[in-house]
Amino acid sequence: MSKHFLIVDDSSSIRQMVEHTLKTAGYQVTAAEDGQDALDKCQSASYDCVLTDQNMPRMDGLTLIRSLRAQANYKSTPILVLTTEASDDMKAQGKSAGATGWMVKPFDPQRLLEVAAKVLG
- What confidence score (pLDDT) does residue 121 get? 85
pLDDT tens for the chain, residues 1 to 121:
699 999 999 999 999 999 999 999 999 999 999 999 999 999 999 999 999 999 999 999 999 999 999 999 999 999 999 999 999 999 999 999 999 999 999 999 999 999 999 999 8
**Is 48 exposed, middle or buried, given 0-12, 13-18 or 19+ CB atoms closer than 10 A?**
middle
- What confidence score (pLDDT) does residue 94 get? 97
- What confidence score (pLDDT) does residue 1 get? 66
Nearest by Cα to 22 from 107, 101, 121, 95? 107
